[in-house]
Amino acid sequence: MRRTPSRLRTTALVTTSIVAVSLGTSTQATALDGASVAAPSYAFTAKLAIGDTFRSCTGTLVNAQWILTASSCFAADPSAGFTVAAGAPKWKTTATIGRTDLATTAGQVRDVVELVPHADRDLVLARLATPVRGITPLRIGATAPTAGEQFKGTGYGRTKDTWIPGTLRSGTFTVNRVDATELQIDGTPVCKGDTGAPVFREKDGLLELAAVTTASWQGGCLGVTETRTDALATRVDDLAAWVRQSTASTLTPWRLQMVTVANKDLFHTARDSNWDWSAFGDVERAAGGIGDIAQASDAAVSGTNTVLALGADNVVYEAKRNPNGTWVAFRPLTGELGALAGLKKIAVTSIGSNLGLVAITGSRVHHAVRDASGTWSKWGDVTAAAGTLTSPTDVTVTKVGDTTHVGVIANSGKAYHTIRNTNGTWDTWGEITKISGAPATVRSMAFSGTSTADLQAVLVEPTGTARHVARIADGTWTSFGNLTGVLGTGPVTAVDATTVDNEFHTAVIRDGRILHTIRHVDGTWEPADTPPGAPADPTSLALTGSWN
């Protein structure tokens, strides 16, 4: 017999979704009665201990400092409804994130300090006392589920033969029915302790959250004679805006800005301090068409992002993105900079209220400055001051302290570095590929400076392997690190880097996909994440950090 959502909820909420369990050191809790999850798979899944031994639930890390789960987990009497008060939880609550085996010390544990319930759905956002590091959140999807669609779920609830399991488990579901705010799903049993568990799909190679489990018949769970296994899950695919608005209290003004060229068109996205990416926007649609774009670079001054695009017509164009998201139209810079034949690549950086621009042609490296009034200088010849390089192929630039650092690949794959001093003089080129442990040749390179007067760099070898190195303030270079463990295997075809809130960000294109990671001040790296909705077949990208 087909059951209505209201009947299923009445039957299930009191007896299935939430359970008082002991969570002492000798007992652990797990999830959906499916397969055990190997670390670090589905590390975004959170184990919630509410009132120490009072209740156990499951949740999902949706950005750096927020868990999404069922509000009924925090209700005094879930059988009477899922309404809970906003603010600090009534009972002390801790979240364990990224610990697939609860007998270990893996993952991270945080106190829950604030609840933001949804007004009309069995959902609540739980703010963690401090942000989580090293665990990639599960993003909110925007595609509505359909009947017959297959999903996965993970949770820390009871199984068919274990009262308090010790490992995260996963299962599969089929959507039986889609309502305006809920799904009826069937498949792997949803047991006590699984309330709030994520229900997710894979789309375009990325996982995305579609719903959160809220009620179940518990068929197949230990101690239950019921045979029915279907459950209810609250939809979240239409709530991305609510999540962003409700989690805005933990935002800082810092943003990562990214532009990427795909199919000779230019697109823009931004990543806020909660680690949420904005949708990619078509820059030429907002700032005026300039024809095919070969490559672009960007830099930010006082919250305004300046995008410089190298057109297929060998002209450098400038556009600006204001802090409110509006664009100032592209304009050609040939009249100010002067014409350069055979432009191959450009790179720009902010230097206080000025911008520093570098470019390479068939045999030379060039430099220009935009002052605080917005006026550009004419091109200057860097190679005339720093030394001649043969056939440069790549260029990067960044501010380090009060100086400008430029990197160039030339002379058949050798990497070089020079400094423009505050008085306008240039140091002679130093060869990075001569440093002990450096790759013999490289094909692309990206620089960024930090407030500690260090230069951070990523170099990509001809095989596509990305390597990291830093030049510290005294002029010495650190050892080279291999980023395969962070970015995965496969050849990197493009790279750029920037600093955001004194943390080093780098992004690459690998296997036709954009991957982004962060190197924290302590030297640890975040797992790579991919901005959702990126354009297909990107060929180059550029990053900058802005304070909005």
- Two tokens, residue 17: 């979704």
Ordered DSSP codes for 189-242: PP-TT-TT-EEEEEETTEEEEEEEEEEE--TTSTT-------EEEEE-TT-HHH
Q: Which of 547, 545, 543 is nearest to 252 (CA)?
A: 547
Q: In Å, what is the CA distance from 56 to each residue of 74, 248, 276?
A: 10, 27, 28
Q: What is the pLDDT of residue 22?
A: 23
Q: What is the pLDDT of residue 38?
A: 61
**Domain 5-246, what architecture?**
Beta Barrel (2.40)
- Two tokens, residue 51: 């009132």
Please list, in sequence order, all residues whose beta carbon lies within 8 angstroms of the beta carbon of residue 112, skipping any fewer than 6 positions away. 48, 67, 89, 93, 94, 95, 126, 127, 128, 129
Please list, in sequence order, all residues whose beta carbon lies within 8 angstroms of the beta carbon of residue 436, skipping any fewer than 6 positions away. none
Q: In Å, what is the CA distance from 415 to each residue of 245, 433, 513?
A: 45, 6, 25
User: Would 5-246 and 262-547 be classified into the same CATH topology?
Assistant: no
Helix (H) or strand (E) segment spanning residue 335: helix 334-337
Query: In degrees to the nearest 10, what's the CA dihedral of 495, 470, 396, 354?
Result: 120
Residue spans of the domains in the chain: they are 5-246, 262-547
- Two tokens, residue 74: 């925090």
What helix, strand, coil percent values describe the chain, rounded to 5? 10, 45, 45
In a structure prediction context, what are the per-residue pLDDT tens digits for the chain, which is 548 residues long?
223 333 344 323 223 333 322 222 222 223 355 556 665 679 999 999 999 777 899 999 999 999 999 999 999 888 778 889 999 999 999 999 999 888 899 999 999 999 999 999 999 999 999 999 999 999 999 999 999 999 999 998 877 766 677 789 899 999 999 999 999 999 888 888 899 999 999 998 899 999 999 988 887 787 787 778 789 999 999 999 999 999 999 999 999 999 999 999 999 999 999 999 999 999 999 999 999 999 999 999 989 999 999 999 999 999 999 999 999 999 999 999 999 999 999 999 999 999 999 999 999 999 999 999 999 999 999 999 999 999 999 999 999 999 999 999 999 999 999 999 999 999 999 999 999 999 999 999 999 998 778 999 999 999 999 999 999 999 999 999 999 999 999 999 999 999 999 999 999 999 999 999 999 999 999 999 999 999 999 999 999 999 97
End-to-end CA distance of the chain: 56
Please list, in sequence order, all residues whose beta carbon lies within 8 angstroms of the beta carbon of residue 194, skipping any fewer than 6 positions away. 17, 31, 32, 57, 58, 153, 155, 156, 157, 158, 213, 216
- Two tokens, residue 499: 């600093």
The span from the CA of 272 to the CA of 280, in Å, is 14
pTM over 0.95: no
Q: How many residues does the chain have?
A: 548
Residue 402, class by beta-carbon neighbours within 10 Å (0-12 exposed, 13-18 middle, 19+ buried)?
exposed
Say if residues 206 and 142 touch (Cβ distance below 8 Å): no
The span from the CA of 263 to the CA of 157, in Å, is 47
Q: Which of 28, 122, 121 is nearest to 73 (CA)?
A: 122
Say if residues 179 and 37 touch (Cβ distance below 8 Å): no
Q: Which of 387, 392, 335 is nearest to 361 (CA)?
A: 392
- Two tokens, residue 353: 């209220």
Say if residues 293 and 310 touch (Cβ distance below 8 Å): yes
Say if residues 46 and 64 touch (Cβ distance below 8 Å): no
Q: What is the pLDDT of residue 19?
A: 33
Query: In degrees to the nearest 10, what's the CA dihedral of 200, 201, 203, 207?
Result: 40
Whether the bond between 40 and the residue before it is cis, its omega within 30 degrees of 0, is yes
Instruction: State the SS3 of 455-481.
Output: EEEEEECCCCCEEEEEECCCCCECCCE
Say if residues 376 and 323 touch (Cβ distance below 8 Å): no
3-state SS, residue 19:
strand
The span from the CA of 158 to the CA of 149, in Å, is 25
In the DSSP assignment, the letter for residue 147 is: T
Count the Cβ atoms, other than its own, within 10 Å of residue 15. 17
Q: What is the pLDDT of residue 12?
A: 32
Q: What is the CA radius of gyration of the chain?
A: 26
Helix (H) or strand (E) segment spanning residue 539: strand 538-547
Query: What residues does 406 pair with on adjacent strands?
Result: 397, 418
The span from the CA of 14 to the CA of 33, in Å, is 20
Q: What is the pLDDT of residue 37?
A: 61
Q: What is the pLDDT of residue 6?
A: 34
Say if residues 234 and 509 touch (Cβ distance below 8 Å): no
The span from the CA of 17 to the CA of 222, in Å, is 14
Say if residues 316 and 298 touch (Cβ distance below 8 Å): no
Query: What residues does 529 pair with on adjacent strands?
Result: 516
CATH fold of 262-547:
Neuraminidase (2.120.10)
Say if residues 131 and 65 touch (Cβ distance below 8 Å): yes
